[in-house]
Amino acid sequence: MTAKPDSARAAAVCACPMCAARAEHLLSQDGRAYYRCPVCQARFLDPAHRLSREEEYAHYLHHENDPADPRYRKFLSKLARPLMTRLADGASGLDYGCGPGPALAAMLREAGHDMAVYDPFFAPDRAPLDAVYDFVTCTEVAEHFHHPATEFDRLRRLVAPGGWLAIMTCFQTDDALFADWHYRKDPTHVVFYRAETFHHLAGAWGWTCVVPVKDVALLQRPKAGQ
């Protein structure tokens, strides 16, 4: 572990990108500095150490997200199963950040749901962002958000009253293990969440939040009139 960044640099990045609270330096590792928020419990990379858009895209091209891969489908079912128990038949959904192989969208279509997809790199048509949906999924995407407050505000507006925002990301649980955590070592991962982060987010919106299994958060928007 290297020394903490100088005070001027630390002050420049002290605002949490999730809730804007004053964050604290967590550690510097591999030439990158990380911070933690004492309010929403997010951890995040110093914005100065993010990859460029071109570098990020090049990294994503190495992902293997085959919709026909049974192992990948099993991985995604960690979110799909608890979400589908809460959906009405034929619900409409958006897979936000679907990647080059929108496997989750395929799984949900097979279950009878009408699915749209959006991804800034692989499905950049923004037309689906003009609609609202019974549910929005965001699997292994939120950790890539450079501006998570803005992204989550967009996701909030995409969910119809009574609908669900379903998020899957590897929850950060132990600061003592953060330096060697495989999730931190991915250079495209810039924000790290705890279950408390999503409970805080839901509370700020006036929504409810359940965590049916580790790494999955289901946020529900109140029904109209509630």
Asked if 77 and 61 touch (Cβ cutoff 8 Å), the reply is no
Task: Give domain status of residue 69, yes or no.
Answer: yes
Report the CATH number at residue 111: 3.40.50.150
pLDDT in tens, 63-122: 767 788 899 999 999 999 999 999 999 999 999 999 998 999 999 999 999 999 999 999
Give the count of domains, the chain. 1
Task: Give domain status of residue 1, yes or no.
Answer: no
Task: Give domain status of residue 226, yes or no.
Answer: no
Domain that includes residue 177, residue range = 7-220
Task: Give domain status of residue 170, yes or no.
Answer: yes
Q: Which of 141, 135, 9, 145 is nearest to 63 (CA)?
A: 141
The pTM of this model reads: 0.92
Tokens matching residue 204: 């700020």
CB atoms within 10 A of CB 33: 21
Q: What is the mean pLDDT of residues 114-137?
A: 97
pLDDT in tens, 153-180: 999 999 999 999 999 999 999 999 999 9
Task: Give domain status of residue 187, yes or no.
Answer: yes
